Structure formats: structure tokens, C-alpha cells
Amino acid sequence: MAISEFFIRYLQRRDELEPADLARLRAIPTTVQHFAPGEEVIPWGPRRQSCMIRRGLAARIHVLKGQNGQNGAQAITALHVPGDFADLHGFVLTGLEHSVVAFGPVEAEFVGHEHLTAITRDLPHLTRLLWMVTAIDAAIHRQWIVAAASLRSTAHLAHLLCELYTRMSIVGAAHEMRMNLPLLQRQLADMLGYSPIHINRAVRDLRDRRLVSWQGTEVEILDWDGLAQLSRFDPTYLQLERHHR
Amino acid sequence: MAISEFFIRYLQRRDELEPADLARLRAIPTTVQHFAPGEEVIPWGPRRQSCMIRRGLAARIHVLKGQNGQNGAQAITALHVPGDFADLHGFVLTGLEHSVVAFGPVEAEFVGHEHLTAITRDLPHLTRLLWMVTAIDAAIHRQWIVAAASLRSTAHLAHLLCELYTRMSIVGAAHEMRMNLPLLQRQLADMLGYSPIHINRAVRDLRDRRLVSWQGTEVEILDWDGLAQLSRFDPTYLQLERHHR
DNA sequence: CGTTTACTTGAATGCTCTCAACCAGCGTGG
DNA sequence: CCACGCTGGTTGAGAGCATTCAAGTAAACG
């Protein structure tokens, strides 16, 4: 297979792809695999390939070692939507300190690291764009830290929704204020650092304020401005301006 | 000036520098500047150069826009110790969504982006190492997210101390379980997401448990194992293994 | 001295957690 | 067909952690 068009759009939203860049991207041979909800897309540890999400939702999961042989509590540090190069950072690191797990059915695509090494040798501009992808990832991490430190439950959840809708609509994976989020409340809790019960109340709060309609995995944003204002959402950190790198 | 030896050590701790890499790094012309506590080392916005910390402590500060023309609360998403390339990610991003501020007196060194562009053109291996620097940065962000979601005040503060001592001792900026941290309790609060008063209690808690001695800016870790166990500190995420990239 | 800044402590309020129970949907097996 | 268990969502009550307001200490500086 060839690299997902979602990813091409992700890049083109931020910079102009030179013909050589585009040709090389499309020439990379990849392997596509399907995953059921809960399956591990990428295990913890050293990797020889990196993975791109083509369809569905995936998350980075950090397993917490309990103090006294305890349960396997887990934290979630990132969510990945179609077009995301979920573990591109694994290319330059010794190994991942987390796994990537499918939320809902996922179609993923694997790229061998030898092709990335070749790109760093031949195509400096495309190399900088791939580097940028991991830098945007880090900017999202920072925004999560800011949100965790400054927002309370309802606003915090609202911020996540604003971010996800923005990221999904940019690549064409969401439209008209609707998106499909196969997320359990327990997983939202692992993501935002609350108990599942508290997440439940935050969801109800958003419903009561008529900001969103949320039924199962279908989420519709009823009042974007209200949601953005409540969560102080400012998409600058997603680097949506086109700019030569 | 030539690039700080702290940074060379930072890289050599993780990979072998080829002679060409080392020569090029040492040949980069840089400008050194000094900053007083509270001064802005790097302002918010687009940048044409990136900055490395030679001496002192610096932080990335995100200013929060208050809801109703409110105060300028702020969040801190990263701390930088000597040898850190504080805004290397600014090279591949359109601009920084935060500023970098000196905590205590800081000596910093600036590298024009044109030299980095040249490296991506000529030296693939060194390019991957610089990319790695930003990836380690992101891994630290992730660990902060995990800590915020899973640790309570005292353990959370303990985790920060473990991380900082590890990072500083690796490059030779701290020894014998002692380090100099010119941090106000208010700034710790902005970092960990608590109120300054609560930080005060967490510091006292660590003192009462005889885990650290903390007088002014001088911190001594009295019981490393106790501190690491309390905060579940595991340095894997700092990528301390040497490995060819 | 008086002011400022940072740190410290106490008390009351409020946000979030835990424990507990209950409901709905779904697949299974009798 | 229906009882059953399982999973995930919902709601209530009490306890615990963190916040705010308030006051007081100590050191640095003019």
C-alpha cells in the first residue's frame, strides 16, 4: 500500500510538499493491518517500524506499576486520529515507553525505519516535515499539561473535544460538528486524570449546558463557541498555518 | 562561542558522535547572552534562532488568557537545565506558543536556524540526533502528563525532583545528591498545577519524611530510594541508553 | 524603621474520589 | 423464550484532598 492520503493532507495543511517529497512519500511500501477494539497496535519497547493510523482511533497507554504488586492502572498521554503518524518518535528513540492501543476498530499502516533513514539521507525538506510531525505531537502534549493544570473537569473535557474535532476535521475525518469517538468513560478518565464517575458527571454537565449531544460513540457539538470559550480553546498550538520549513 | 560541552555530553550519553558530527557542532558560531531572574530568554512567536542553556535554570511559560479580562495566570510545561536545547522545536514549527524565562541567573547561547538547515542537508546522522533531542523533550512531557494524572501532591513533587537531579547529574550540572534550584514555590505551583500553599505543604511533607533537605535554592536528596519509590520514578523515558540512531 | 517578597500556618469551602447501588443493553445457554 | 451474567453508564452519599481567604513570620532592602 501507499501512505494514507490523510497524512498527505496533514502535511499539506502546514507546508507545501515539493514534487520529490510527494513522489517519495507515495513510493514508500507499507503494510496495512486491522485491529479490533482493545488490541495492541504497537507494543512497548524498541521498534523497527512506525505506524500511521488510516481509520479509527488509537491511544498511547502508559502502564503504571502499582506500589505493592498492585493492579495495572494506566494513563493515556495521546489520542491518534486518521492521518496521525502515531509512533514516528520511535524512529529516533531507543524504544517506546508506552504502547499504542486501538479504540474502536482501527486500520493502521506500517513503515519500516529503513525508509525513514533513507529520507533523512536524501530529502532534507521532507525530513524537516517529519520532524515537524513529532514537534506538533509535543505541542499537543504541552497543551494537555496546561489544560490539566488550569481547567476543571467539565472545561477540561470540553478542551479535549475541541482539539479532537479540530484535528479530525482538518484531515477530513469529521464534518458538520459531528464525530465518532469510540471512547469509554473509563478511558476518558485515564486521559484526563479523573475517576470514571467524575467523567460521567462532566459529560452530563456538557449535555445539561446544551453544548454537546453525546449518544454512545456519536458526538455532536451543538455550540462550538460556547465549548471553545468554556475550555479557553485556542488552536494555535496545532500549527495550522502554512509555512515553509 | 562554540556549542556548550554540556550539550555534547547530553548527546554522547545517548549515541556515539561521528568525527564529522562533532566537528560540525564545534564549528557552529553562536552568541552568548546573560539573563537575570525573570527575564525572557526567548519571546513567544516565530523564531530565526534556537537557544541552548549553558548555566542556570529556565522554564517554558504559557500565559493563560483569563475569561473576563482577568489576571495573567500562567502554566509551566518544561524546565531546562544546562545542556538543554530549550527551543530546538522552534526550528521546525511556525512559532513557539510559549516563552522561555530565566529562573535564577542564566547564561544562554543562540544558534541561527540557517546552521540547523545546513545540518539537515549535510549530516543525516547528526540530524537524527537533533530530532532525538526534541523527541526526548516530548517523552518528558508525556511523563509529566502521567505524573499529573496518577500522583498526589507530595509524590508529584518528589517525581519532579528525581527527574531534575537525574537530568542535571547526567551532564555534570549536579553532584552528590545536591542541586541548586532557583525555584519559587509559586513557580512550582504553576508547574505541577497546585496552589502555592499546597506546594508549601508538599515541601514540608518531604522534609518531615526526611527525604530531602531544602533550604532556599539548595536541595539535597537525603534518601534517593525513598524518593524514587514514593514517586514511582523510572528513568527509562529519559533515554539514557547509548544506541545508534 | 517601614516596605516588600517569599514562606508558613490555620480554618472554612469546594472539587473530586470512593463506595455502593441501580439500570440498560447484549450475548449466552438452558 | 427467558434467566443469567457481563459490561458500561448513571446516580447518591460520605470521606479526602486541594483551594481560598486570612493572618503571621522572616529576611532583604531602602
**CB-CB under 8 Å, B93 with A135:** yes
Could you tell me the three cell numbers for A25? 512519500
Task: Tell me how far apart the alpha carbons of residues B52 and B83 are, in angstroms, rounded to a whole number.
Answer: 7
Is strand D less than 7 A from the beta carbon of A201?
yes
**Res. A73 pLDDT band, cuts 50 70 90:** confident
Distance A185 CA to C21 C1' (A): 19
pLDDT of residue B67: 52
pLDDT at B73: 85
What residues in B contact A198, CB-CB < 8 Å?
Answer: none
Q: Quote the CA–CA distance of B69 and A226 in Å, as a whole number.
A: 17
- With CA atoms as reference, the chain A residue closest to B91 would be A245
Looking at residue A65, what is its pLDDT? Answer: 77
The CA–CA distances, whole Å, from A210 to A157, A198, A219, B68 equal 14, 19, 12, 22
10 Å CB burial of residue B227 (0-12, 13-18, 19+) is: buried
Per-residue model confidence (pLDDT) at position A71: 59
CB pairs under 8 A between A and B: 140
Q: What is the pLDDT of residues A110-169, one digit of tens each?
A: 999 999 999 999 999 999 999 999 999 999 999 999 999 999 999 999 999 999 999 999
Confidence at residue B82, expressed as pLDDT on a 0 to 100 scale: 96
Residue B151: nearest nucleotide (C-alpha to C1'): D17
Contact between A144 and B145 using a beta-carbon 8 Å cutoff: yes
Nearest to A75 among B62, B146, B192 (CB): B146
Instruction: Using the structure block, give the residue that is written with the C-alpha cell 506558543.
Output: B97
According to DSSP, the β-strands at B218-221 and B212-215 are antiparallel
Work out the burial of residue A36: count CB atoms within 10 Å of its CB; fewer than 13 is exposed, 13-18 middle, 19 or more buried: exposed
Is the per-residue pLDDT at A195 higher than 90? yes
* Residue A30 CA distance to nucleotide D26 C1' (Å): 66
Chain centroid, CA A52 distance in Å: 10
Q: Which residues contact A127 (CB under 8 A, 6 or more apart)?
A: A119, A120, B120, B124, B127
Q: How many Cβ atoms from other residues are within 10 Å of residue A225's Cβ?
A: 9
Chain D positions within 7 A of any protein Cβ atom are: 8-13, 17-22
Strand partners, A78: A60
Q: Whose CA is closest to A153, among A212, A194, A207?
A: A194
Distance from residue A73's CA to nucleotide C1's C1', rounded to whole Å: 58
Cβ atoms B190, B184 nearer than 8 A: no
Is the CB of residue B1 less than 8 Å from the CB of residue B30?
yes
| Alpha-carbon gap, residue B140 to B144, rounded angstroms | 6
Q: Do B97 and A73 touch (CB under 8 A)?
A: no
Q: Which nucleotide shows the minimum CA-to-C1' distance to residue B202?
A: D18
The residue lying closest to nucleotide C10, measuring its CA against C1', is B197
Q: State residue A103 phi and psi, 5-degree precision.
A: -110, 110
pLDDT band at A67 (very low <50, low <70, confident <90, very high): low
Closest nucleotide over all strands to A198 (CA to C1'): C16
User: Distance (Å) from the C-alpha of residue A192 to the closest C-alpha of chain B?
Assistant: 7
* Residue A233 distance to chain B (closest CA, Å): 10
SS3 B146: helix
Q: Kindly determine whether residue A64 and residue B150, on different chains, have CB atoms separated by under 8 Å.
A: yes
B195 touches strand D (CB under 7 A): yes
R_g over Cα of chain B: 18
Task: Name the amino acid, one letter, at B29.
Answer: P
Q: What is the pLDDT of residue B133?
A: 98
Task: Report CA(B195)–C1'(D7) in Å, whole number.
Answer: 39
B92 with A128: Cβ contact below 8 A: yes
By CB atoms closer than 10 A (0-12, 13-18, 19+), residue A202 is: buried
Q: How far apart are CA A81 and CA A83, in angstroms?
A: 6
Confidence of residue A109 (pLDDT cuts 50, 70, 90): very high
Other beta carbons within 10 angstroms of residue A5's beta carbon come to 15
pLDDT in tens, chain B (245 residues): 788 999 999 999 999 999 999 999 999 999 999 999 999 999 988 899 999 999 999 999 999 876 544 456 899 999 999 999 999 999 999 889 999 999 989 999 999 999 999 999 999 999 999 999 999 999 999 999 999 999 999 999 999 999 999 999 999 999 999 999 999 999 999 999 999 999 999 999 999 999 999 988 999 999 999 999 999 999 999 999 999 98
Judge whether residue A200 contacts strand D, using its CB and a 7 Å cut-off.
yes
Three-class SS of chain A: CCCCHHHHHHHHCCCCCCHHHHHHHHHCCCEEEEECCCCEEECCECCCEEEEEEEEEEEEEEECCCCCCCCCCEEEEEEECCCCECCHHHHCCCCECCEEEEEEEEEEEEEEHHHHHHHHHHCHHHHHHHHHHHHHHHHHHHHHHHHHHHCCHHHHHHHHHHHHHHHHHHHCCCECCEEECCCCHHHHHHHHCCCHHHHHHHHHHHHHCCCEEEECCEEEECCHHHHHHHCCCCHHHHCCCCCCC
A75 vs B145: CB contact, 8 Å cut-off?
yes
pLDDT digits (tens, 9 = 90+) for A197-230: 999 999 999 999 999 999 989 999 999 999 999 9
- Say yes or no for a CB contact (<8 Å) between B131 and A134: yes
pLDDT band at A64 (very low <50, low <70, confident <90, very high): confident
Which amino acid does the sequence have at A107?
E
Q: Which residues of A touch B150 (CB under 8 A)?
A: 64, 73, 75, 193
